Structure formats: C-alpha cells, structure tokens
Amino acid sequence: MSALPWASPNRATSYAAFGVPIPVYAGSFGTMGFYLRVPNPLPSNVQVGKTYREYFEWVVDDGGGWLGDDTKVYYDVTIDNKHAAYAGQSAYPTIPRGSSANVTIQFKNTGPTPWYKWGMRYSGMSAVRLGTSNPLDRGSGFYAAATTGWLGNSRIQLVEATVGAGDVGTFTFTLTAPAAMTPGVYYEYFRPICEYVGWMEDSGVNLVVTVT
C-alpha cells in the first residue's frame, strides 16, 4: 500500500492499493496516510522551535457530513531545525593492523530544539547521529560490526540520550584496522545528521588515522 497525496489543502485521503481506494466495511478500521510538510522558507507567522497543533476529523464528502467528536484527533507539530558546531575531539589514533582504538568527537547543539539518541521518522524525535562524509554516507573502512558506537558502516550514535540546546553531544566509537589493511595514513571524515531531517553544518571534521 502507498499513501495517496492530499486531495486538497483541507482533505487527507485514505490508503489505497494499486491507486484504488480501499473500502472500509462496518466494524473495520480505516487508515489515513498523509505527510505533514514544513514550508521552506517558513511563513512569517511560523517560528522555529515552536509547537503547533493540527486538528483533524473524519468526514464523508458529497453530502455525507462530519462523523462526530469520536473521530476528532490532533497532532502536535514542532518546527524543527537542527544545527551543530564543532566542540572538540580526541587525539588522532595510531592503530596496528588487526587492532582497534576508541576515539571521540563532540559537537555543540546550536539549534533551538534537543537532539535525541533514538527516534523515529514520524515521532517528532528524529535521531541525531554522526555520519560519514566526503562523500556523504560512504562505508567506513574502519567499521567493524558490534563495536562501540557504530549502528552501521556510515552511522555513529550519540552517547547521551538527550542533548539540549546549547549543550554538547558526544560520539565515542571504535576504529578497527583490518589485518589486511595496507599500513599508512588514512583520513576519516564525519558530519552530524538528523535522520530524515537533514545534514547539519559541515565543519570539515576528520580523524587522521595511522595504521602500522
């Protein structure tokens, strides 16, 4: 199934299969699937960091009428805008082949809303993570499964559960040099990202990793 677009500025639509609306029979559940999208640029009467309440109620168009108070729902929508500034990092590591070392990178939350370690796309709490960059989302050659900090070969999670506006968030993770890696100097680049919201400022943060 895929969510149909809004039918009009004041009408969301029901889920559909193969482009055909699915009927909801007596005693069954009906589902509305739609996106709430923040305009860019923001209208003059909308403020970043402020929460707005959007109300909805089921209605049968073409003379059917509104279905009553029992169908009324609302969503609290916080206008988000994530920003970060480089705050520090641990010393560049030297790693023998077949060994590992932990490193730390820190960023200050310079935006108006908190960062969260965990979150989901539609929860209003999208997770802030450290992503590989230069290029974005590349697979790191120093990633190893089940090591500290990594969620995959391009994502590192926050140490803190929540990082408030003005506070510093920490990313501590393990760099593993495979036994077959060629000795030399490697550059690992990183950039903070709020998943499903977007990449934050590129501070050119990198780790110079010496493999021996």
For 122-176, what is each residue's pLDDT tens digit?
Answer: 455 789 999 999 999 999 999 999 999 999 999 999 999 999 999 999 999 999 9
Q: DSSP string spanning 42-75?
A: PPTT--TT-EEEEEE--EETTTTEE--GGG-EEE
Alpha carbon distance 6, 74 (integer Å): 17
The residue ranking higher by pLDDT, 189 or 113, is 189
Count CB-CB contacts under 10 A for residue 140.
Answer: 20
Would you kindly state where each structural domain of the chain is located, as residue ranges? 16-78, 84-211
Class of domain 84-211: mainly beta
* Residues 193 and 129 sit within 8 Å (Cβ to Cβ): yes
According to DSSP, the residues that pair with 76 across neighbouring strands are 53
Alpha carbon distance 151, 154 (integer Å): 8
For strands 94-95 and 205-211, give the pairing: parallel
Alpha carbon distance 161, 128 (integer Å): 10
Mean pLDDT over all residues of the chain? 87
Residue 47 pLDDT > 90, yes or no? Answer: no
pTM, two decimals, is 0.69
Q: Long-range contacts of range 138-147, CB-CB < 8 Å, 24 or more positions apart?
A: 140/188, 141/178, 141/181, 141/186, 142/175, 142/176, 142/177, 142/186, 142/188, 142/209, 143/176, 144/100, 144/174, 144/176, 147/100, 147/173, 147/174, 147/176
What mean pLDDT is predicted for residues 106-110?
Answer: 97
Q: What is the pLDDT of residue 160?
A: 97
What mean pLDDT is predicted for residues 4-25?
Answer: 68
